[in-house]
Amino acid sequence: MTLLGNFKRWYRRAGELGAEYYNAPYRSAIARARRDEDDLFMLMVFSETMGIPNPASWYTLELQPLLMERFHDWHQRMGMPHSPLDNFRCC
């Protein structure tokens, strides 16, 4: 290991620890914001199937199979006890 390699590794580790230190008080707020963004993204992807016009449905249709695993958790978090889709029952 060269001196430059050791310095790069130490610098990367110091950056990770610094980010961890500064993000720790805001971890729950960051997680909540991320979940809100994910929920909005799920709404955009499944909006056309729920009757909401979506101008980007051609592109989001390809994402539906990838997000089906998280669909059940999403619709329950949105306050829908059963699947809002007529032809898809996940519960």
Residue with tokens 């306050």: 79
Please check whether residue 15 is in contact with residue 22, taking contact to mean a CB–CB distance below 8 angstroms. Answer: no
For 4-60, the pLDDT digits (tens) are 999 999 999 999 999 999 989 999 999 999 999 999 999 999 888 888 888 888 888
Stated pTM of the model: 0.65
Amino acid identity, residue 3? L
For 60-90, the pLDDT digits (tens) are 888 888 888 888 888 888 888 888 777 777 7
End-to-end CA distance of the chain: 55
Q: How many helices (H) and strands (E) does the chain have?
A: 4, 0
The per-residue pLDDT for 34 is 94
The per-residue pLDDT for 49 is 82
The per-residue pLDDT for 83 is 81
Quickly list DSSP for 24-67. Answer: GGGHHHHHHHHHHHHHHHHHHHHTGGGT---TTHHHHGGGHHHH
